Amino acid sequence: MVKSSIVVPSQIANSSAQKRSVDQEDNNNGNALNEPTVETGTSGSQESKKPRLEMNADSRGRGQRMFGVLLGTLNKFKDDSKQKSDAERKRAEIDSKLHEKLANEKKELSEKLHADKQRRDRETTLLKKREERMIEEKRDATCVKQKEYLANYIKTKTEPRLCYRPKKLTKELEKQIDEQMESAREERKIYEFREEERMKEEESEDELAVEAEEKCQQDDDDQRNKTEGREEEEKELTPRLESPTPEDVVVADRDD
């Protein structure tokens, strides 16, 4: 067996060694970049911690923005709850006023119906009195006229009584006729006095009826004014319920 040896030139060996050293150095530098380096020096620590500080600043800003969004949402919810409570309180006040209005209207309607009934009863009573007065007046007038007419005649004492007038009157018959005429005149005076009393009573009733009608009209006007005033007051006190505005859409910032 023959041993052989190969002689490598020195230049080629040196270049190969340099190449290996350069590759090894590049690998070491790459590993150094991938692995975090911790140095005790001040300048080295500042340079190594600078990316982490920048990352913490971004995170802190994002957290502040998220906290601001959350705080704004809570404040908006608080304002909405307050507005809802105010609206409920106003609705309760409106309901109370409506119940009070209905009670007042019911009371006013009952009073009006009672007043109308009293007025109708009063008018019916007045008409009935006037009808009775007219019948009485006609009866009295007929009786007076009949008595005045029959005062010139003599009545028989037997039933049925007959009225006659002799052609020649005796003193007794003349005296009887004179007494009958005087009685008829007295009856006429009584009838005229009653007629005056009836006229005064009718005038008094007419005045009372006019006063009652005016009072009813005044009550109706007052009631109408109260109702209109109450409606105006309710319009002023009734809050205007506005439709809720759409909530603002809050979009949180997110890092890409």
* Cα distances (angstroms) measured from residue 252 to each of 62, 66, 106: 9, 7, 59
pTM above 0.75, yes or no: no
Average pLDDT over residues 145-168: 88
CA angle 93, 96, 97 (to 5 degrees): 85
- Cα separation, 145 vs 188, in Å, equals 8
Of the chain, the percentage scoring pLDDT greater than 90 comes to 10
- Please name the helix (run of DSSP H) or strand (run of DSSP E) that holds residue 163, with its range, or none: strand 163-164
Position 166 scores a pLDDT of 87
Position 213 scores a pLDDT of 80
- Cα separation, 229 vs 232, in Å, equals 5
Burial 48-82 (b: 16+ CB within 10 A, else e): eeeeeeeeeeeeeeeeeeeeeeeeeeeeeeeeeee
Position 54 scores a pLDDT of 55
Average pLDDT, the chain: 73
DSSP 8-state symbol, 41: S
Which residues on neighbouring strands pair with residue 163, listed in sequence order?
155
Reported confidence tier of residue 25, pLDDT bands at 50, 70, 90: low
